[in-house]
Structure 1
Amino acid sequence: MITNASTRPPVVSEENWRTARLELLREEKKLLHLQDELAARRRQLPWIKIDKPYTFTGPAGRVTLADLFTGHSQLVIQHFMLGPGWEEGCKSCSFMMDHFNAAAVHLPARDVAFAAVSRAPIAEILPFKKRMGWNVNWVSSHDNDFNFDYHVSFTPEQMAEDQVYYNYGRREFPHEEAPGVSVFTRDAAGTIYHTYSTYGRGVEFIMGTYHILDLTPKGRDEVGLDYGMEWLRHHDRYEQSADAFATT
Structure 2
Amino acid sequence: MESQREPRNDPQNDPQHRIGSRQEWLEASRALLVEEKAHMRAGDELARKRRALPWVKVDKTYVFDTPQGEKTLADLFGGRSQLIVYHFMFGADWEEGCVGCSFLSDHMTGIVTHLEHHDVSYVTVSHAPLARIEAFRERMGWTFPWVSSAGGDFNFDYHVSFTPEQLASKQAFYNFTEQDVGIDEQHGHSVFYRDANGDVYHTYSCYGRGDERFINTYAHLDVTPKGRNETSSLVDWVKHYDRYDEARQSGGGCAACGS
TM bracket (short chain): over 0.9
Distance 2:186 2:49 in 1: 26
TM-score in terms of structure 1 length: 0.92
Q: Which amino acid aligns with 1:213?
A: L
Q: Which one of the candidate residues 178, 200, 204 is aligned to 1:170?
A: 178
Q: Distance in 2 between matches of 1:186 and 1:217?
A: 44
Deviations 1:181-238 (A, max 9, x none): 0000000010000000000000101011011111111111012x5x443211011111
Instruction: Note if 1:5 corresponds to 2:15.
Output: yes
SS in 1 for 2:117: helix
1:58 to 63, 66, 69: 66
The alignment's TM-score, normalised by the length of structure 2, stands at 0.88
From 165, 184, 196, the equivalent of 1:188 is 196
From 46, 50, 53, give the equivalent of 2:54.
46
Deviation at 1:109, TM superposition (A): 1.6
1:96-119 Cα deviation digits (max 9, x unpaired): 111123321210121000000001
> 2: CA distance between counterparts of 1:102 and 1:170?
37
Q: Which residue of 2 aligns with 1:197?
A: 205
Query: Aligned ranges for residues 95-106 of structure 1 at < 5 Å?
Result: 95-106=103-114
How far 1:2 sits from its partner (Å)?
Answer: 2.8
Q: What is the identity, as a one-letter code, of the residue corresponding to 2:15?
A: A
Distance in 2 (alpha carbons) for counterparts of 1:102 and 1:171: 36
User: Higher RCO, 1 or 2 (CA under 8 Å, sep at least 6)?
Assistant: 2
CA distance in 2, matches of 1:19, 1:114: 43
> Is residue 2:227 matched to residue 1:219?
yes
Residue 110 of structure 1: SS of its match in structure 2? Answer: coil
1: CA distance, partners of 2:215 / 2:234: 14
In structure 1, the gaps of 5 or more residues are: 241-248
Q: Which amino acid in 2 is paired with 1:200?
A: G
Report % sequence identity: 50
Uncovered stretches (5+) of structure 2, i.e. residues with no partner = 1-10, 247-259
Contact 1:85 1:124 in 2 (8 A): no
Matches of 1:3 and 1:138 in 2, distance apart?
42
Q: Equivalents in 1 of 2:165, 2:226: separation in Å?
A: 42
**Letter of the structure 1 residue corresponding to residue 245 of structure 2:** E
Instruction: State the distance in 2 between where 1:91 and 1:148 align.
Output: 21
**Equivalences for 1:1-248 in 2 at 5 Å?**
2-6=12-16, 8=17, 10-223=18-231, 225=232, 227-239=233-245
Q: Name 2:256's counterpart in structure 1.
A: none
CA contact (8 A) 2:170 2:182 kept: no
Q: Distance in 2 between matches of 1:116 and 1:71?
A: 17
Give the 4+ runs in structure 1 shifted more than 4 A. none
Amino acid aligned to 1:65:
L
> Which has the higher mean CA deviation after the structures are superposed, 127-136 or 91-100?
91-100
Question: What do you get for the CA RMSD once the two structures are aligned?
Answer: 1.4
Q: Secondary structure at the match of 1:105?
A: helix
Mean alpha-carbon deviation: is it higher for 27-36 or for 103-112? 103-112
Tell me by how many angstroms 1:171 deviates.
Answer: 1.4
Once the 2 structures are TM-superposed, how far is the Cα of residue 162 of structure 1 from its aligned partner? 2.1
Structure 2 CA distance, aligned partners of 1:51 and 1:131?
36
Number of residue pairs matched? 236
Is contact 2:188–2:208 with CA below 8 Å preserved after alignment? yes
Cα distance in structure 2, aligned partners of 1:101 and 1:155: 33
- Cα distance in 1 for residues equivalent to 2:110 and 2:160: 24
* Corresponding letter in the other structure for 2:135: P
**Corresponding residue SS for 1:75:** strand
